[in-house]
Amino acid sequence: MRKPLLTSLAVVSLLAMAAPVFAQQPTKMKPEDTEIWKPVPRVVTPGATCGAPPSDAIILFDGKNEDAWVSAQDHTPAKWIVSNGIFTVNKAAGNIETKRRFKNYQLHVEWKIPSDITGSSQARGNSGVFLASTGPGDDGYELQVLDNYNNPTYVNGQAGSIYKQSPPLVNANRKPGEWQTYDIVWTAPTFRSDGSLNTPAYVTVFFNGVLVQNHFQLKGQTLYIGKPFYKAYDRAPIKLQAHGDKSEPISYRNIWVRELP
Ligand code: MG
């Protein structure tokens, strides 16, 4: 007679974990419901930066191969294009993520918008660094990658933003064709055994050496439509986005991470 009781408890527990996901989403929300357009972050011209990996860094991409990465969709070997020490987004192949899973870390990423970039707003060099990948698509926590050197969009969706949650403090974009850097400190969220949130995620981001996110407390996963919510996970890969817009694909190089307590 004990077995049915345990099964019922398990079902109740699962429902309790799933309930907030649905309860927090008002019906009929549109993408623009969570866009913020003003105030526009002021422009700051970045100085020269360097991002060579320190001695204890885990190298995620050094220009030679993409062995540290797999397809986020099916975990087959990554199929982005490696050439001349960089890799370029393969939009047809979709998002890629690290084989290794992380909790808290310091991350360095370099990326470049093509000098011949076309498009506007979100359809101009869109990619993204998902600080924790919680699913194959755009599930997780996205630090936006986009060309905003001279490209207005909603400010909580521009380069250096935590997508749809926090605009960058300033606009530190370099010109298309120039390499740019993200230096990120990620404090992962923690969860109780029942899946409820224990402590939220925090992120600090330097964009080309300029502070754009200062220990920002995330509201949950970053969503295209709807209000953010947390979904329990323990360790997660880092993911790079192959965005579906038609603009020229961007490139990445010199990606390394240092695990933190
Ligand atoms: Mg993006």
Any idea what DSSP says for residue 124? Answer: S
Ligand 1 center–CA 76 separation, angstroms? 22
Ligand 1 center–CA 19 separation, angstroms? 28
Ligand 1 center–CA 193 separation, angstroms? 31
* Structure tokens belonging to residue 102: 């992380």
Q: What pLDDT, on the 0 to 100 scale, is given for residue 248?
A: 96
All structural domains of the chain = 68-259 (2.60.120.560)
Ligand 1 center–CA 143 separation, angstroms? 8
Single-letter code of the amino acid located at 151 = N
Tell me the C-alpha distance between 219 and 228, whole Å. 6
Q: What pLDDT, on the 0 to 100 scale, is given for residue 46?
A: 79
pTM for this prediction: 0.87
Q: What pLDDT, on the 0 to 100 scale, is given for residue 186?
A: 98
Q: What pLDDT, on the 0 to 100 scale, is given for residue 48?
A: 72
Ligand 1 center–CA 191 separation, angstroms? 26
Within a 13 Å sphere around the CA of 43, how many CA atoms are in the beta-carbon half? 9
Q: What pLDDT, on the 0 to 100 scale, is given for residue 24?
A: 62
Measured in whole angstroms, how far is the alpha carbon of residue 58 from the centre of its chain?
A: 19
Ligand 1 center–CA 142 separation, angstroms? 7
Q: What pLDDT, on the 0 to 100 scale, is given for residue 196?
A: 98
Ligand 1 center–CA 145 separation, angstroms? 6
Q: What pLDDT, on the 0 to 100 scale, is given for residue 5?
A: 44
Exposed e or buried b for every residue in 108-134, given b needs 16+ CB within 10 A?
bbbbbbbeebeeeebbbbbbbbbbbbb
Say how many residues make up the chain. Answer: 261
Q: What pLDDT, on the 0 to 100 scale, is given for residue 14?
A: 45
**Residues in the chain with pLDDT < 50?**
1-22
Which residues, other chains included, contact 190 with Cβ-Cβ below 8 Å and sequence gap of 6+? 197, 198, 199
Tell me the C-alpha distance between 145 and 143, whole Å. 7
